[in-house]
Amino acid sequence: DTGVSQNPRHKITKRGQNVTFRCDPISEHNRLYWYRQTLGQGPEFLTYFQNEAQLEKSRLLSDRFSAERPKGSFSTLEIQRTEQGDSAMYLCASWRSGGLGNEQFFGPGTRLTVL
């Protein structure tokens, strides 16, 4: 257990529905990252926050995706009008700036299945 938690762990939804995932990072970590991972592939960067500010978004993050970190603590990732291609594992990671390296601590992920 890295101290990063994600909920729910699994989500099954029908195409066209909206889904929201939550990530609770390690409390003193000010950076929070979202990644997406498909079977057999490494995680792909989606976006990251420094405290409550969203500083970078990947071109993978279409207009249907939105992420927030309103108080600089937990974060939510919402997908609107889900498509089958959105089926993947969504991973959250946190990191404390000022540390020795860029080690990111990952949560267990939320596995999304879009039917």
Partner 1 sequence: GESVGLHLPTLSVQEGDNSIINCAYSNSASDYFIWYKQESGKGPQFIIDIRSNMDKRQGQRVTVLLNKTVKHLSLQIAATQPGDSAVYFCAENKSSSYKLIFGSGTRLLVRP
Binding site for partner 1 (CB under 8 A): 2, 4, 31, 33, 35, 40-45, 48, 55-56, 58, 91, 93, 95, 101-109
What span, in angstroms and rounded, lies between the C-alpha atoms of 68 and 58? 15
Question: Which C-beta is closer to partner 1: that of 42 or that of 85?
Answer: 42
Provide, rounded to whole angstroms, the least separation between the CB of residue 27 and partner 1.
Answer: 18
What tokens were used for 11? 């989500």
Provide, rounded to whole angstroms, the least separation between the CB of residue 46 and partner 1.
Answer: 9
What span, in angstroms and rounded, lies between the C-alpha atoms of 31 and 91? 14
Question: Which C-beta is closer to partner 1: that of 12 or that of 18?
Answer: 12
Provide, rounded to whole angstroms, the least separation between the CB of residue 81 and partner 1.
Answer: 26
- Are 91 and 112 contacting, i.e. CB atoms less than 8 angstroms apart? no
- Are 51 and 94 contacting, i.e. CB atoms less than 8 angstroms apart? no
